[in-house]
Amino acid sequence: MEKIKYSVEDYPFADIIAIILNTTNLSKIHKEDHFEKYDLFTRDKDQSTKYHKLYYNNFSKKIEPTYTKFIKNVIRPLYNEEIVYQKIPTFRLHFPGNIAVGEYHKDKWYRDKEWHEEVCEMNFYLPFTKAYGTNTIWVESEEDKKDFSDMKTEYGECIRWDGANLTHGNKQNLTNTTRISVDFRVIPYSRYKPSNHGSINTKTKFEIGGYYKKI
């Protein structure tokens, strides 16, 4: 697991997301008059809020330019070759009293196991609020060790980690702050090969031009 720091002045993700979600404080969005309360999320409902729709509907015009610059200048230099990266990062909301992802899992459960072993895909966790305690991802230190701990992260930090093989998930958020984040996946281009499988929510094929882009 590797923590990467970046400039929030150069990549002002939180400011952009706050405008899109119509809030002045992302971590306190649950206190806004316009906030919609949701029942405890399940796997099939954890991408279905009005805030998710606002994010995905505004991604190409308002978020993608900064995201592409971030990939090019911050993530690409971590590799000694071209990379294949998730074209649209997955949006997460972890409200107090709720969870962000409907189940504990390994990403490879939703892909072809042999494909995953060949491509060496890695996850990147990019919060736009402070992520800590029960409002963040809980992950084991080694595959199947089940010694879960919270992935503590500040705004201005990004974590590279092995979400394909490490079981991870959320606890019910008992803090008084909402965690808002995205996560995305990266493959070294030399290890890339297309897959016949598709993403669990949109069924987008795991291939360049579908789920991935190359840089």
Give the model confidence (pLDDT) of 96-145 as tens digits: 999 998 889 998 887 766 676 777 899 999 999 999 999 999 999 999 99
Task: State the Cα–Cα distance between residues 189 and 83, nearest whole angstrom.
Answer: 5
Question: Who wins on pLDDT, 28 or 1?
Answer: 28
Burial class of residue 57 in the structure, from the number of CB atoms within 10 Å of its CB (0-12 exposed, 13-18 middle, 19+ buried): exposed
Tokens of 15: 């400011």
| Contacts for 189 with CB less than 8 Å, ≥ 6 apart | 81, 82, 83, 84, 214
* Tokens 């093989």 found at: 165
- Residue closest to 12 by CA, chosen among 82, 70, 52: 70
Task: State the Cα–Cα distance between residues 143 and 96, nearest whole angstrom.
Answer: 29
Domains and CATH numbers, the chain: 2-214 (2.60.120)
Return the ∠ at Cα 4 (arms to 89 and 182), rounded to 5°.
20
- pLDDT at residue number 197: 77
Mean predicted confidence (pLDDT) in 70-92: 97
Mean predicted confidence (pLDDT) in 183-207: 86
- pLDDT at residue number 114: 65
Chain segment 173-190, per-residue pLDDT in tens:
999 999 999 999 999 999
Kindly indicate the confidence band of residue 86, based on its pLDDT and cuts at 50, 70 and 90.
very high
* Tokens 């008084």 found at: 176
Chain segment 4-63, per-residue pLDDT in tens:
999 999 999 999 999 999 999 999 999 998 898 899 998 888 888 999 999 999 999 999
pLDDT at 68 over 70: yes
Chain segment 144-174, per-residue pLDDT in tens:
999 999 999 999 999 999 998 999 999 999 9
Angle between helices 13-21 and 50-58 (to 10 degrees): 120
- pLDDT at residue number 185: 95
Task: State the Cα–Cα distance between residues 21 and 14, nearest whole angstrom.
Answer: 10
- pLDDT at residue number 46: 85
Task: State the Cα–Cα distance between residues 80 and 92, nearest whole angstrom.
Answer: 30
Tell me the whole-structure pTM to 2 decimals: 0.94
- pLDDT at residue number 193: 86
The per-residue b/e assignment along 126-155, b for 16 or more CB within 10 angstroms, e otherwise, is bbbbbbbebbbbbbbeeeeeeebebbebeb
